[in-house]
Chains A and B, each alone.
Chain A
Amino acid sequence: GESVGLHLPTLSVQEGDNSIINCAYSNSASDYFIWYKQESGKGPQFIIDIRSNMDKRQGQRVTVLLNKTVKHLSLQIAATQPGDSAVYFCAEREIQGAQKLVFGQGTRLTINP
């Protein structure tokens, strides 16, 4: 099962640098994946999604990569800005059932000026 801990993985980057946040998902049957950003005291905010029949998708300043072979998802943020500081969660949706999302542990991204 998944471990639930009180200490999030953290990533600190310099403003203007690129950030890469990684996520290992658990279910090979998942068909849809989403990256969410969560700022303190707020709900998860949609960033970008990708279906399992794709391996890459680009948005504005963000790119998601999916490697189904090793069940790995990554989020790349280009030219990070102070407003990118937040906790980032990946979420997977199982292809069967009620289409619930299962969230990963989360990574805290800190942007240094």
Chain B
Amino acid sequence: EPEVTQTPSHQVTQMGQEVILRCVPISNHLYFYWYRQILGQKVEFLVSFYNNEISEKSEIFDDQFSVERPDGSNFTLKIRSTKLEDSAMYFCASSPRDGYTFGSGTRLTVV
């Protein structure tokens, strides 16, 4: 069964540093998403990406965040200057239209 793959599984970074979270969506999917989940809370939408551009972003997705699909297969989330409150699980998801498939997540810890 096709999977969404995320790397790394765990990332520890110092406050103020840049991090890049990587995702390989399912190859024939058209819509790509990043979500995050702070420990013990619900999954929150960050950004959606369709047709090589951002189609929607949440209030969380401020100027410190960016997404790219650099080579037609990978889908990355960059946080330019991490803050303590960015510590969370970050999930990538992809969809053909219905039936969203999520990756296993990257646990980001900002110290």
A: which residues have CB within 8 A of B? 4-8, 32, 34, 36, 41-46, 49, 89, 91, 97-106
Determine if B44 is an interface residue (Cβ-Cβ < 8 Å): yes
Contacts known (A98-B48, A99-B48); A8 close to B40, Cβ less than 8 A = yes
Chain B interface bracket (under 10, 10 to 19, 20 to 34, 35 or more): 20 to 34
Nearest chain A CB to B105 CB, angstrom units: 5
Which residues of the other chain, A, contact B41 by a CB distance below 8 angstroms? 4-6
B: which residues have CB within 8 A of A? 4, 31, 33, 35, 40-45, 48, 50, 55-56, 91, 93, 95, 97-105, 107
A98 touching B98, Cβ below 8 Å: no
A100 touching B101, Cβ below 8 Å: no
Can you report 11 A-B residue pairs in the complex whose CB atoms are below 8 A from each other? Answer: A41-B107, A43-B102, A44-B43, A45-B102, A46-B100, A46-B101, A46-B102, A98-B55, A99-B48, A101-B33, A102-B45
**A46–B98 CA distance with the chains assembled, in angstroms:** 11
Nearest chain A CB to B69 CB, angstrom units: 15
A44 touching B56, Cβ below 8 Å: no
Contacts known (A34-B100, A98-B50); A103 close to B42, Cβ less than 8 A = yes
Nearest chain A CB to B75 CB, angstrom units: 15
Contacts known (A43-B91, A98-B48); A32 close to B105, Cβ less than 8 A = no
Tell me which of A5, A97, A101, A104 contacts B100 (CB under 8 A): A101
A103 touching B44, Cβ below 8 Å: yes
Which residues of the other chain, B, contact A36 by a CB distance below 8 angstroms? 102
Contacts known (A43-B91, A98-B50, A99-B48); A32 close to B98, Cβ less than 8 A = yes
B40 touching A6, Cβ below 8 Å: yes
Which residue in chain A gives the minimum CB-CB distance to B55?
A98
Which residues of the other chain, A, contact B42 by a CB distance below 8 angstroms? 4, 89, 103-106
Nearest chain A CB to B95 CB, angstrom units: 7
Which residues of the other chain, A, contact B99 by a CB distance below 8 angstroms? 46, 49
**A55–B70 CA distance with the chains assembled, in angstroms:** 41
A43 touching B40, Cβ below 8 Å: no
Which residue in chain B gives the minimum CB-CB distance to A34?
B100
Which residues of the other chain, A, contact B101 by a CB distance below 8 angstroms? 46
